[in-house]
Amino acid sequence: MPESMPHPFTQHGFAGRIGVAREDITPPIGIYARNWGAAEHDVATGIHRPLTATALTIQEAVNRPPLVLVSLDLGWWRSYRDELYVRDFLLDALSLASERLMLSFTHTHSGPSICREDGDKPGGHLIQPYLDQLRSAVLRAARSALDSATAAVLEWRQGSCALARNRDLPDPERPRYVCGANPSAAADNTLLVGRMTADDGRTLATIVNYACHPTTLAWQNRLISPDFVGAMRELVEAETAGAPCLFLQGASGELAPHEQYSGDVLLADTHGRELGYAVRSTLEGMLPAGAQLIYSGSVESGASLAIWERAPTRYSSRVDARQIQVSFQLKEMPVAAELIAASERSSDRVEVERLTRKRRIREGVGDGSVASMPAWVWRIGDAMFVGQPNEAYSQLQTELRARLEDSPVVVMNVVNGHYGYLPPSHLYGEDLYPVWQTPFEQGSLERLIESCSASIQEMTDSAV
């Protein structure tokens, strides 16, 4: 029998200054919002639920440079120029180093176009004013979060939710894959929840990190919507006295709801409640803020009973931020000028849409054979945050979490840009949408995993 005292039950956490603020970023009705090749409409005709930008600021102490993380109910950047138009503005206005800002998209597929190049489309004249309003709204949220920052703790608990399913389905009729629920394949159902509590006991905010494509609503839907994220937030915030809930889209490259591609907003709300109740269950299982359970001895009854009692604990105030660059080999593909010429020759709307998307990706990664892709790695207390612009498969999060099994790892897709999918190597060669969509060659996901893992290890070693 072991003679040493049992390890306490502790929550991973951070202690420092935390601020949170939210702004409405719902676009005007009539804005260009054609996100699906199969759509027969171009503009949004109404609002299902508002879109929001929620800013979170993290500091070790007063007057220390902050980390700024913003969750935005938007889909993806179609042009790298528009992404820089927003991010560079915020970096300058907030006097932030580039490694200290992450703009994380929830990845709704029912949001507006944020591509100024679409200005000549129906409703496209509203895009430039909307981007300007977006920049101002995010800046207000970030400044408000900084102004309201207070001493608080951020604590974590892992749960699970079955909403996300594998969506790489072998086509029963042809030698290819179709993009839809595959009941025979496993899916990562990990739910990571962070709770922020002020020193006076108030819940400041919650973080929900979960990997699932918001594709409940598709080409039939004409309403602006955050998809399932909206109803999830509503449910969680009702339980936390209105404290803002930040949804951070995980590594969801192959994950989506099993029932999707609908025009029914009630289905999106149903999915949101499924996730929301899982979040609330996870929160219910957390200890009070700043508490741990320690073994205090035994009581003799019908059995010898182990007694665990609550006791205070202390968390690290460490904050660290790095921006790394990862070299990805590019697939052989036409240069931007060739893709422009091909789209001008075509009269098929779906084909033109695909060629336009390819051309914008090519412009973003350049006409060469190698692209340098950024990733952001943060340490907040004993938790790690990893954000990157592409649509990585869940292998990114499962491997990083397995390598750092003693600490929470928040993994985010569609952060500070968007270029393409990152499928695992074994899928290359398959007739599969993420494989033929991505500009990146086989092995890119694995290269990203190794680069992020090395950066995490360096941060861990420097903390010892």
- Tens-digit pLDDT profile for residues 258-305: 999 999 999 999 999 999 999 999 999 999 999 999 999 999 999 999
pLDDT by residue (tens digit) across 127-149?
999 999 999 999 999 999 999 99
Q: What is the pLDDT of residue 245?
A: 98
pLDDT for residue 248 is more than 80: yes
Q: What is the pLDDT of residue 299?
A: 97
pLDDT by residue (tens digit) across 309-358?
999 999 999 999 999 999 999 999 889 898 989 988 998 877 887 888 88
Backbone angles phi and psi of 27, in degrees to 5 = -80, 165
**Under a CB-based contact definition with an 8 Å cutoff, are residues 156 and 111 in contact?**
no
pLDDT for residue 36 is more than 90: yes
Amino acid at the residue 8: P
Tell me the average pLDDT across 99-119: 98
Cβ–Cβ contacts within 10 Å for residue 109, how many? 20
* DSSP codes joined into one string, 190-259: EEEEEEEEETTS-EEEEEEEE-----SB-TT--EE--THHHHHHHHHHHHTTT--EEEEE-S-TTEEESS
Question: What does the angle CA 256 – CA 217 – CA 122 come to, to the nearest 5 degrees?
Answer: 130
pLDDT band for 2, please (50, 70, 90 cuts): low
Q: What is the pLDDT of residue 254?
A: 98
Containing 392, the helix (H) or strand (E) segment is strand 391-392
pTM: 0.96
d(CA 194, CA 13): 9
Q: How many residues does this entry show for the chain?
A: 464
Q: Calculate the CA 111 to chain-centre distance.
A: 16
Matching residue, tokens 């025979």: 184
d(CA 285, CA 156): 11
d(CA 419, CA 327): 14
Q: What is the pLDDT of residue 352?
A: 85
Phi-psi region at 441: left, alpha or beta (left = phi > 0; alpha = psi -120 to 50): beta
DSSP label of 43: B
